[in-house]
Structure 1
Amino acid sequence: MRHRATRRRVAIRPSAIRPFALRSSAMAVCTVLFGAEAMAQQDTTTLPAVNVKASQYDPDDVRPEGVTTATKTYLAPKDIPQTIDTLDVNKYKSYGINDLSIMLDGIPGVNTTYDMRGEGVYIRGFQADSGDIYRDGVRESGQVRRSTANVERIEILKGPASVLYGRSAGGGIVNLVSKQARFDARSSVTLRGGSWENYGGTIDINHVVNPNVVMRLTADREQAHSFRAGIRNRNEMVSPSILIDTRTGLRWTAQYTYDNVWRVPDRGPAYDTLPAGVSIRTGFQHPGDYVQDRLRVARSDLVYEFNPAWSLRWVASKREASQDFDHYFAGTYNAATGLVRPNYAWQQTSNKTTSNTLDLAGKFHTGTIAHDLLLGLEISDELRQPRLATVTQNFGYDPFNPNPAAWPARPAQGTPTQHNRHEGEAEAVYVQDLIGITPEWKLLLGLRHDRFKFHSTNYLSGLARGYDGSSSSPRVGVVWQPVPSQSLYASYSKSYSPYGGRGMLSVDVAANAVYDDAPQHSRQFEVGIKSDWLGGMLSTQLAVYTLEHYNIRYRPDAVNDPFTWAIRGKERSRGVEFSASGQVAKGWYVRGGAGVMSAKVTGDAQVPANEGLYLNGSARRNGNLFLRYAPEGPWYGEIGVTHTSARWANAANTSQVPGYSRWDALVGWRAAPWTVTAAVSNLFDTEYWRSAAMPGAPRSLLLSANYQF
């Protein structure tokens, strides 16, 4: 097994701190919990039961000792027969990155685009931002941009994950692990500032009240302009949390997160519609354009350990998200007139989700065979209420000199062109067993059954409809560890996407609507090896996979025979991924990986010309590599490159986003309790496009200072 220096721990007694409890989700915490008593000066002499060990944590080694996303139990990555990548968010914050999609850029097999309304994430060829993003294991549904101001790390599980999480597009899931109250966390204050009038700060106060109670308050504020004229944003986040551990097997973690993002949207015309010579620094926004994302999340995580082998866990979550916008966007270019004709829309959308999960976990033996069992029950309901309008525009502007102040007055928000109410309910039961056949052989078996019910109402027409269905999702994996440092595995997993793959909250309410209620499915076969080298200092993982999206349906003759649905065909992604992380020599650290992928349409009876074409948004090659030098002493530095090859921007493969390589570098100085860094993004000022609608930022600088106490 890989050996690492342990993180900073508070030694109360051997069973005092359970890793999975310290990473759990939480419910609302009243802000009075962070009153005078919580903010009082810490005096460890009044807490004789608490003894703090000497810190041996290596801040340059980003490898996790365990993860929870893949199995909902805390396991070493080598015991999981599926690829999972983990990102230390602080490493990206050093460069001023707060955008989730930019953080994921360069992860092997993960492609990102710019989406003003969402995240624009693709995993192994399939979109993963509409229903496959989670926070502390709870689905982050709804149309909203997510701040990462309160995120400690990100776990990306690649491949179908319906066996534990329900509906999914099949490429994988992204789980954001929050900063929460912990007995071993330190407090800190961070200030930062840099290019494009970017400045902000973070306060992170973790206070051990007594041996049974610890509280934490994390707050962040940031505002910045963009390299594109007129574009700016303002982010605010506050998240209090509390952990109560009775030391008798009962623990409760609670957390409330308030997140508010306001911005002038950057949603100009696509690069391939603009004439040559338009600067990437040109902004196309009208005075008064705005987008506002609001997120309120309350979580409660209650765990009771009957004994060292068996525990019961109840996670409850209430989430409210909304996105309002009013802006001009995109547009078409007329070469004859030399003008761009923009589009215009306003929207008011709210999303509310309530989720309850009950897990029974236990370890036992049947003869010489060991079992790590998980039995689960999940109940959730979602409500989405979009209200929006699009208004046809009859004016044009010069893309070389858009001068938005001279555009006609923005239309008034009148009667919406769409006004709907979408409701969804789901219940699921699941079982998972990690079977230790011998010390070298492990078998992971899992099965989940979901029942779902949806209902939609069109407030404009007065029509309403609903439907219900069910689906089962299996997973099988085998792990062989011939020696402790090498772990070979093979796995099969399957996922479902209800209502013909159209998502959970969207039912056609037209009077002549005919349901395609059969779910779409994805299935993946994966083999790989996870290894430790250099005496456990360096870890690698290599995976080969085939991922198919099937049961895609269409109506061969929607006009004359609207009641007949048929199989359209399949989409398939095949690839190889490699990643490495750890220490390669004294003072030298590496993190990164590379992926090669072929994501194609393998069958399309609806549009036969698409057969053999590549799926849009997915690069054939991508990856990143960061090399850090941290010798003894206060100074350290790193340099890294992120590469993405060309991606097709449409299903017909007629428009392509060029590939790019971007270099980043930083230099840092740390002498406890201070850490100061200077980071340069896009070191060589490369001009490139993140997506068809968004250029990459030019060279920029961020200075940050952190004080721990």
Structure 2
Amino acid sequence: MIGDFLVLKKMRGGRTHQLMSVALMATAAIGPMVLAPAASAQATGERNFNIPAQSLGDALVTFGIQSGMQVTTNGVPLRGVQTGGVKGNLAPAQALSQLLAGSGFTFRINGNVVTLERAPQTADGSIQLGPVRVEGATGTSGNGYGDSLTSDRLATEGTRSYAPAGASIMKGGKSLLDIPQSVTVVTRQRIDDQNLITLTDVMSNVTGVAVDPRVGGGADFYSRGFQMSSVQFDGVPTYRSTMPSGNTFSASTAYVDRVEVLRGSQGLLEGQGTPGGAVNLVRKRGTFEPQISYTARAGSWNHFGGIIDVGAPLNDAKTLRVRAVAEYDRQDSFIDIVNSKRFTGYLALDYDFDPDTRFGMAASIGRKRSVLDEGLPHFSDGSNPHLPRSTFYGAEWSYNDVDEEQYWADLEHSFNSNWSLKIAGNYSKSRAHELYLTPDNSVSPTATTVARDVWKTYDGTRTFGIDAHVDGQFNLGQLQNEIMVGGSISRLHSIEHLAANFGAYPTDLYNPEANIPEPTSYSWSTTYLFQPIIQKGVYGMVRSTLGPATLILGTRVNWYKAVRATSTFSQDGVVVPYAGLVYKLTPQWSAYASYTDVFNPQRSLQANGDVLPPVRGKSYEAGIKGELADGRLTTSLALFRTDQVNLAVTDVASGEICGGNYCYLPSGKVRSQGIEVEVNGEVLPGLQLSGGYTYNHMEHIEDFASFISPKHMLRLWADYRLPSSLSAWSLGAGVRYQSAQERNGFRNSPYTVVSAKIGYALNEQFDLSLNVDNLLDETYFTTVGRDYYGSPRNFMLTLRGKI
């Protein structure tokens, strides 16, 4: 491993090498720090609280949202405990004292974190309320807060739960009950239990999401039959060109606290509102308490890797906090010659200017050196050649080198208890160099050879995005109102150099030759330049609550311009309306409905050289959600329908005349509709469950369309901690099923993949787990059109430790 890392350091990219060195030195330097805990005045400023009488668990979730603080129960059971609620302008400590009155619990506050504790009892068994401790005011410190205490009040790290406290993908933390769309949150605990190392691993296990591997690496994600066109970081969209295989689509989860996935159009707050939805990666933040964690893994096909994760306050007041993460991963493959080496470094700082103002900044670098699988052909009649899973149609000299840098900054300020401002931005730069062979997608059923094209490509992409919004709340009589007004802008600059020799390396269909001479010249080449793609918009949303009903109304006005080669497309003042209704049936259950327009600019070219017109449509959703067992279990049922036009469809008839690839046509009216059911959290003591089923029916109402969506998808995972004297042991099992997919007349078969895990806690610091993926060794293709085999049965042994 050390030798591989030294090789990585010597490869191209001097600036990236410098950043890698900084990240490694920061991780090493922070690790041994022993920092004195200290103060915060978070608990002293007044806030507006309006929490009705309900279960204490639900009330604490609402308290966390309204106070901006992170609440941890520290394992205290809350089942059956009720509270009389609290209302008025109060300091958080005062409000919490009223919520806990008569409950038998007390609390302590350290910085931004509230920890619940049982109140002590006297000798006769009566409750004796001890003093509430607002720690830091005297320079003292608490502990027992878990592994990650950060300024992110919705952080999942250290909760040991699959059920989130809420989601931030709609800007501002909201309970899932209050979001009138389908949202899945993959928590840090689930990421670790299932050993989900990359974003692609995570998305492969999300309810209703199909993963489509890219030629050149990475993957695209589809939900409800439509592609998710961007990936957000902390709520700010990050766009990429069509070619690079950088960390946007194959991102490491080492520095991620959780992954939030919204299904349905996100056009109101993102601008580019595909009906497939949006993905939001929420980064880890600097911690209030010193912590070090580390991970070592070893698995099938020479898979080895490790992570060092360090967080700590850097001053006595804990107003300056740091997080540093370094990850190395290398692996071969079940496919001949295919391999990958990857390094990720991450460094974040958060600073509290005062209790009402926080500034954060972070940087990450990613470097990958690999030989990729470019897929397999199928027969032109749609049948399967039954090639061995180890078949590789590339060459020994093939390579895929990707370097990416990403930078983030955000500022949050509370003007008073009712009004706040947040500004967030990101910048990224990626470079992808590739040399590879691709076989023809389809060959005659009588063929014994297959043609291969050789491609040499370079893709350089720079993206910038910034979002600013103001949130406020005010009352009009009995009508409680929340308002959000903001704006955003994103820019993408991309240059693509392509060179190819078509049909230059024919080979035996069943015994492809990899030891062939590397080309020295190319018969075809071109350059594509996006200079630039600009999207900007302003938006507003109002949430008005009267009794159990909340009406949500919003709109966004978009401006969009894309320049590619000699083709320019622009639209000004496109209005995207949004409407939603949430009705609280009980404190634990809500019914909802929502509507939004679809507006999604496209970059693909038609045969005449024009850019495709934007996808337009309408999206509807209705359902019911529940937060049960004091928030430890979330569940939902959704009905959805989306109608849209201009979806990009491959133009096979025109041939491969668009940069050596097929051009596209705008489709007619396409309808996607169906039902989704999902559950996440603790269904029984010690049993964490995450599962979802999707039925999705797609049809073309007018003209034609090309579909990728499976009709049926099941994603299921459960992890059980054994009771009593066996509590050091845990058992996990999961199933991924999806029905057949179709694309451009080709169809693959349904598949079922079973996974399992056994874990053992060696002591309080060390956990050992063995994960087995594809336990039954199912042979299947992950997508259709260009065939990619899913991984055979494989094993991963993981050791996790913490200080």
| TM > 0.5 | yes
**Within-5 A mapping of 1:87-486:** 87-89=186-188, 91-117=190-216, 118-128=218-228, 131-142=229-240, 143-146=244-247, 147-148=251-252, 149-183=254-288, 186-210=291-315, 211-272=318-379, 276-331=385-440, 332-405=442-515, 407-412=516-521, 416-438=525-547, 440-457=548-565, 463=566, 465=568, 467-486=570-589
Between the aligned partners of 1:423 and 1:601, the Cα distance in structure 2 is 33
Is 1:686 paired with 2:778?
yes
Unmatched segments (≥5 aa) in structure 1:
1-26, 458-462, 560-565
Between the aligned partners of 1:166 and 1:389, the Cα distance in structure 2 is 34
Shift in Å, 1:68? 0.6
Shift in Å, 1:532? 3.2
Deviates more, 1:477-486 or 1:95-104: 95-104
Q: Is the 8 A contact 2:265 2:273 kept in 1?
A: yes
Shift in Å, 1:201? 0.4
Q: Is the 8 A contact 1:111 1:121 kept in 2?
A: yes
Deviates more, 1:586-595 or 1:637-646: 586-595
Shift in Å, 1:465? 4.7
Between the aligned partners of 1:28 and 1:234, the Cα distance in structure 2 is 15
* Structure 2 letter corresponding to 1:447: T
* Structure 1 letter corresponding to 2:743: A
* Structure 2 letter corresponding to 1:681: D
Between the aligned partners of 2:357 and 2:259, the Cα distance in structure 1 is 27
Aligned Cα root-mean-square deviation (Å) = 3.0
Q: Deviations over 1:165-215 (max 9, x none)?
A: 001332111111122323268420111011010000001000111221111
3-state SS, counterpart of residue 354 of structure 2:
coil
Shift in Å, 1:635? 0.9
Q: Deviations over 1:510-554 (max 9, x none)?
A: 9x866765x321321111000134565432100001111136699
Shift in Å, 1:660? 0.7
Q: Is the 8 A contact 1:299 1:316 kept in 2?
A: yes
Between the aligned partners of 2:505 and 2:522, the Cα distance in structure 1 is 19
Is 1:704 paired with 2:801?
no
Between the aligned partners of 2:21 and 2:302, the Cα distance in structure 1 is 34
Shift in Å, 1:675? 1.3
Unmatched segments (≥5 aa) in structure 2:
1-18, 40-135, 147-156, 655-664
Shift in Å, 1:628? 1.7
Shift in Å, 1:77? 0.6
Counterpart of 1:9 in structure 2 is none
Is 1:63 paired with 2:153?
no
Between the aligned partners of 2:518 and 2:759, the Cα distance in structure 1 is 49
Q: Is the 8 A contact 1:422 1:507 kept in 2?
A: no
Q: Is the 8 A contact 1:107 1:622 kept in 2?
A: no
1:151–1:141 CA distance, 2 compared to 1 (3 A): same
Counterpart of 2:88 in structure 1 is none
**Within-5 A mapping of 1:518-597:** 519-534=614-629, 536-550=631-645, 569-597=668-696
Between the aligned partners of 1:646 and 1:493, the Cα distance in structure 2 is 30
Between the aligned partners of 2:175 and 2:593, the Cα distance in structure 1 is 17
3-state SS, counterpart of residue 281 of structure 1:
coil
Counterpart of 2:766 in structure 1 is 674
Shift in Å, 1:96? 4.5
Q: Deviations over 1:430-454 (max 9, x none)?
A: 111221122x111111111111223
Q: Is the 8 A contact 1:180 1:255 kept in 2?
A: no
Q: Is the 8 A contact 1:312 1:359 kept in 2?
A: yes
Between the aligned partners of 2:334 and 2:256, the Cα distance in structure 1 is 26
Between the aligned partners of 2:477 and 2:511, the Cα distance in structure 1 is 78
3-state SS, counterpart of residue 91 of structure 1:
helix
Q: Deviations over 1:122-181 (max 9, x none)?
A: 1111112xx322222222221334222322211111111110000133211111112232
* Structure 1 letter corresponding to 2:645: Y
* Structure 1 letter corresponding to 2:465: S
Counterpart of 1:19 in structure 2 is none
3-state SS, counterpart of residue 320 of structure 1:
strand
Which residue, 168, 174, 186 being the options, matches 1:75? 174
Deviates more, 1:336-345 or 1:79-88: 336-345
Between the aligned partners of 1:635 and 1:442, the Cα distance in structure 2 is 44
* Structure 2 letter corresponding to 1:529: I
Q: Is the 8 A contact 2:319 2:353 kept in 1?
A: yes
Q: Is the 8 A contact 1:433 1:445 kept in 2?
A: yes
3-state SS, counterpart of residue 791 of structure 2:
coil
Is 1:621 paired with 2:712?
yes
Alignment TM-score, normalising by the size of structure 1: 0.85
Which residue, 579, 599, 615 being the options, matches 2:698? 599
1:704–1:513 CA distance, 2 compared to 1 (3 A): closer
Q: Is the 8 A contact 2:501 2:523 kept in 1?
A: no
1:153–1:534 CA distance, 2 compared to 1 (3 A): closer
Alignment TM-score, normalising by the size of structure 2: 0.75
Shift in Å, 1:283? 1.9
Q: Is the 8 A contact 1:268 1:285 kept in 2?
A: no
Shift in Å, 1:665? 0.6
Deviates more, 1:31-40 or 1:320-329: 31-40
Between the aligned partners of 2:386 and 2:585, the Cα distance in structure 1 is 59
3-state SS, counterpart of residue 200 of structure 2:
helix
Q: Which has the higher contact order (CA 8 A, sep 6+)?
A: 1
Q: Is the 8 A contact 1:29 1:241 kept in 2?
A: no
* Structure 1 letter corresponding to 2:330: Q
1:58–1:431 CA distance, 2 compared to 1 (3 A): same
1:242–1:655 CA distance, 2 compared to 1 (3 A): same
**Within-5 A mapping of 1:659-670:** 659-670=750-761
Between the aligned partners of 1:513 and 1:33, the Cα distance in structure 2 is 49
Q: Is the 8 A contact 1:101 1:113 kept in 2?
A: no
Shift in Å, 1:241? 0.4
Is 1:647 paired with 2:741?
yes
3-state SS, counterpart of residue 163 of structure 1:
helix
Q: Is the 8 A contact 2:33 2:290 kept in 1?
A: no
1:584–1:95 CA distance, 2 compared to 1 (3 A): closer
Between the aligned partners of 1:100 and 1:673, the Cα distance in structure 2 is 27
The number of residue pairs the alignment matches comes to 646
Which residue, 481, 491, 494 being the options, matches 2:594? 491
Shift in Å, 1:231? 0.5
1:247–1:51 CA distance, 2 compared to 1 (3 A): farther
* Structure 1 letter corresponding to 2:636: Q
Which residue, 722, 736, 739 being the options, matches 1:631? 722
3-state SS, counterpart of residue 708 of structure 2:
coil
Shift in Å, 1:284? 2.0
Between the aligned partners of 1:94 and 1:482, the Cα distance in structure 2 is 34
Q: Is the 8 A contact 2:258 2:283 kept in 1?
A: yes
Q: Is the 8 A contact 1:34 1:215 kept in 2?
A: no
**How many percent identity over aligned positions?**
22
Counterpart of 2:153 in structure 1 is none
Between the aligned partners of 1:400 and 1:340, the Cα distance in structure 2 is 9
Between the aligned partners of 1:66 and 1:28, the Cα distance in structure 2 is 34
1:630–1:416 CA distance, 2 compared to 1 (3 A): same
Shift in Å, 1:52? 2.8
